[in-house]
Amino acid sequence: MKRHNKSKNSGEPLNYWQSTADMMSALLLILLLVIMLLLLYIIQIPEEDYIDLYPGSSSSQAASYEDGGWGGDEEGGYEEPDDDDGGGWGGGGGGDQGDGEDDYEFPVAGGGAGLASGYGKTAVYVMVTDAETDATIKEAGIQFELYTTDGAMQFLNTYYPRRIEYRKYETTTEGVFYLPEKILQGHYYFHELTEPEGYDSAGNIEFWANEDRDWDEPLVVVVPLMPSKNVIRIQMTDADTNQPVDGGVYDVIAAEDIITKDGTLRYSAGQTVDRIECNENGYGESIELYLGEYTLVQTSAPRYYASDLEERNFTVEKKEDGLLAPIHKITCEKTTVTVQVSDELYPSEGLGDITFRLTQGGVGTTMVSTDENGQLILTDLEKNTTYRLRQLESADNYRFSDADFVFSVSADGRVEEEAQKSYVITNRLIRAEISVVDRVLRSHVSNFNVALYDSQDQLVGVWDSTALARSLEGLEPGIYYLVLNGKTEKRQAIEIQDIAEIQIINVPVWTTVGVGILGLVAALVLGLAAFLIRRRQRRGPSDLPPPSVELIAAVSRAGAAQAAAETAPEASGSEPQPDATPDAEPETPSAEPESAPESASAEATAAPVPESADKPEDEPAQPESQLVTASVQAETAAAGTETALEAPPAEPDTAPEDGSSEPATEPAAEPAPAEPAPEAEPAQMEPVPEAAPVQTETASETAAAGPAAAPESTPAARTETRRPRGGSHAKPRRSWWKRDSK
């Protein structure tokens, strides 16, 4: 049920929904208005918007301030509409910046342009150029401030899309810029805050804005900047004394292409741009040079000094406020020749007070001497000059060369490519040490009077020998004579050579001790020789030399005679006697060749041999051949004792038991001293009937073949027969090794 209320005045009913409908309509209109504003803002927003990070300062740029700067209509230059032709927003206030609302109040800086009428306004265009070439320095970021001549800083603004205030103005990459807005006519100046690399600060650049100018024909203000320059300063000093040296000249050469920021090539690499000449204080400096790398090359060296061959590199840097360029020290070496005069044998010993004559170029002559250390230092030497140095005298007894010592100084003040050259000149002192020594012991002998004479028989010196050698110095080379104890007839000649080394001369003499020692040694040698000879004489016949040809022939004839004698009893029917061979075993065939010569030698000895007293009664008489063999061996041993000492031992060569032709070689045994062999008695030996014919045949063949076919003694058949003590009938003794074998 709808309820209606009536008004008190009209009596009409009240509509409680009307106010709500009006409110909703208002909200809808407001919403539509907001949408329209948003659309309008979106359509009109610029491509870039630089936000003022520091309100009230000049560090931010305007929204339309791009590479083109504040230019004409096309490049974003903005001019506030001005209905009265003289108003508009002037340059900057000095107070704080507002919040951008309509109630912002702009303060007016002193002398600046504010909200006024009846005053002309000027658009300003700024160019930064090189002061020498007038070319634009294309570098961004060169900052300036704008002041009036009474010192008031000018703040300029942009207002779209919002108000931005500027206190600093900087160049674009083209090296130019526009002021953000026109300024009132007046007297202004730009104060440079930063300068490009390689240029000095421009300071304050004044200009007049005295006429109306629009953006298409702005007032052009040129800011000329001078390229930075500096000098190269050098100081030449002596390398040894550190004192200033005058007269040096250096060329300054560009080490690289020197190009300034305006693009101008100032110097080419390798170009000589200046020359520095050092004054009497050794100081010199170049002209003002553009910044860059340079090289200094010396073209003329100071007098008496060597040229500086080093290329010195320098960097020219920008001047600092109130400071001069640094001074570069250059040390130079003085041309110096040092001559060291010393002993040839001992180079470390200098010879002082030695006089020389110095000739300069064959004209000037100067006398110079060495100091106490033997050094001669030559300075103040002219270039392109040859010098000759000749020694005139030396220390006592020293020998020196009288030839000229020559050296030359080149055009660059060097001697053999060195600024300071050293030479060594040696003087020779002849030294000799004379000693009297024992001829045997070679030791020093004292108490001998020694006199030394030269080749002219002039006495040089006399002294008594001691346990030490006598040292002599300063002798002239040649022949000298030594006389010991005044015995001039036995003088000895010696030679002194021209050498630096010490000459050792030993004079040998006989002394009692030396003679005694020599006699003792001789006695020992003779005793040893006698002992060895006696020992050799006691050795057996195995050590005797081989028998001669005559002896072998005699033994062969004796064997033939014995064979004929034994054949006669067989023909008469008598029983043959056994041929006992005491030195050979019956079962040893190798003893037969040795028995044959012994049996055959019986005919060569005709003298009877007396029987030995110690012979047993039952011992049968020895065969005649054995007696002859013993006699021959005794004579041979007596005649060839010394020859047997050097004769080589005979090689063993015995026939084998089976009768083959190949000899059986056995190692030779060292013969031992012969001793009596009782087991070799004839009573114990069995008769060998065929022994005599075999021995006779062997001996005959041996005699026919000559010495080369003579049978050699072998260890198996070797026997030792010593000279009988009691007579020629003494029993022979058997070797020790045969006794051991039994």
In degrees, to the nearest 5, what angle opens at C-alpha 588 toward C-alphas 582 and 594? 60
Of the ranges 134-143, 299-308, 488-497, 703-712, which one carries the lowest mean pLDDT score? 703-712
Give me 366's structure tokens.
């100067």
In a domain, 238, yes or no: yes
Verify that 206 and 276 share a domain, yes or no: no
| DSSP annotation of 588 | -
At 385 the pLDDT is 93
Residue that is last in its domain, among 428, 462, 495 = 428
Final residue of a structural domain among 205, 227, 249: 227
Q: Domain for residue 464, yes or no?
A: yes
Whether 57 is in a domain gets the answer: no
The CA angle 440-442-447, to the nearest 5 degrees, is: 100
Stated pTM of the model: 0.52
- What pLDDT was estimated at residue 44? 62
Q: Is the pLDDT of residue 461 over 60?
A: yes
Q: What is the pLDDT of residues 11-57, one digit of tens each?
A: 566 677 788 888 888 899 999 999 998 888 887 654 444 434 333 33
- Regarding whether 320 and 341 lie in a shared domain, the answer is no
The amino acid at residue 565 is: A
**CATH number of the domain where residue 341 is located:** 2.60.40.10
Each residue's pLDDT tens digit, 308-335: 999 999 999 999 887 899 999 999 999 9
Same-domain check for residues 223 and 243: no
- Looking at every residue in the chain, the average pLDDT score rounds to 73
How does pLDDT run across 183-232, given as a tens digit for each residue?
A: 999 999 999 999 899 999 988 999 999 999 999 999 999 999 999 999 99
Residues 451 and 421 placed together within one structural domain of the fold: no
Residue 394 clears pLDDT 70, i.e. is over it: yes
User: Quick one: 364 and 454 in the same domain?
Assistant: no
Question: Does residue 16 form part of some domain?
Answer: no
**pLDDT score, position 288:** 95
Q: Tell which of 473, 490, 514 closes a domain.
A: 514
The residue count of the chain comes to 742
pLDDT of 42: 83
Report the pLDDT value the prediction gives residue 113, as an integer from 0 to 100. 38
Residue 240 and residue 324 in one domain: yes
User: Is 411 a residue whose pLDDT tops 80?
Assistant: yes
How much of the chain is in helix, strand and coil states, percent to nearest 5?
Answer: 20, 25, 55
**CB-based contacts of 236: which residues, under 8 Å, 6+ apart?**
244, 245, 246, 248, 278, 282, 283, 284, 302, 330, 331, 332
pLDDT tens digits, residue range 725-735?
A: 444 444 455 44
Confidence band for 376, pLDDT divided at 50, 70 and 90: very high
Residue 478 has pLDDT above 50, yes or no: yes
Q: Among 24-33, 383-392, 542-551, where is mean pLDDT lowest?
A: 542-551
pLDDT digits (tens, 9 = 90+) for 636-694: 444 444 444 444 444 444 434 444 444 434 444 444 444 444 444 443 434 444 433 43
How far is the C-alpha of 444 from the C-alpha of 436, rounded, in Å? 6
Quick check: is 326 in a domain?
A: yes
Q: Cβ–Cβ contacts within 10 Å for residue 309, how many?
A: 11
For residues 191 and 241, membership in a common domain is answered with no
Highest mean pLDDT among 86-95, 250-259, 485-494, 615-624: 250-259
**Could you list the residue range(s) of the whole structural domain that residue 445 is in?**
431-514
Q: How confident is the model at residue 108 (pLDDT cuts 50, 70, 90)?
A: very low
Q: Write down the residue that tokens 């004698």 correspond to.
A: 565
pLDDT at 615 over 80: no
Percent above pLDDT 90 for the chain: 50
Strand partners, 235: 283, 329
**Domain assignment of residue 377, yes or no:** yes
- Provide the pLDDT for residue 17: 79
Question: Percent of the chain, pLDDT > 70?
Answer: 62
Q: Is residue 68 in a domain?
A: no
Measured CA angle at 261 (ends 257, 263), to 5 deg: 65
pLDDT tens for 714-727 read 443 344 444 444 44
Q: Do residue 172 and residue 157 come from a single domain?
A: yes
Say if residue 365 is in the same domain as residue 408. Answer: yes
Nearest to 209 by CA among 183, 232, 227: 183
HSE-up (13 A, CA, CB side) for residue 57: 7
Residue 629 contacts residue 659 (beta carbons within 8 Å)? no
Assess whether 438 and 423 both reside in one domain. no
- Has residue 591 been placed in a domain? no
Place of tokens 């007293």: 613
- Whether residue 129 sits in one domain with residue 148: yes
Residues facing 480 on adjacent strands = 494
**Mapping DSSP to helix (H, G, I), strand (E, B) and coil, where does residue 333 land?**
coil
What is the distance, to the nearest Å, from the Cα of residue 607 to the centroid of all Cα atoms in its chain? Answer: 96
Number of folded domains in the chain?
4
Least confident window among 173-187, 213-227, 422-436, 703-717: 703-717
Claim to verify: residue 344 and residue 280 sit in the same structural domain: no
pLDDT value of position 43:
78
Q: Give 490's DSSP letter.
A: G
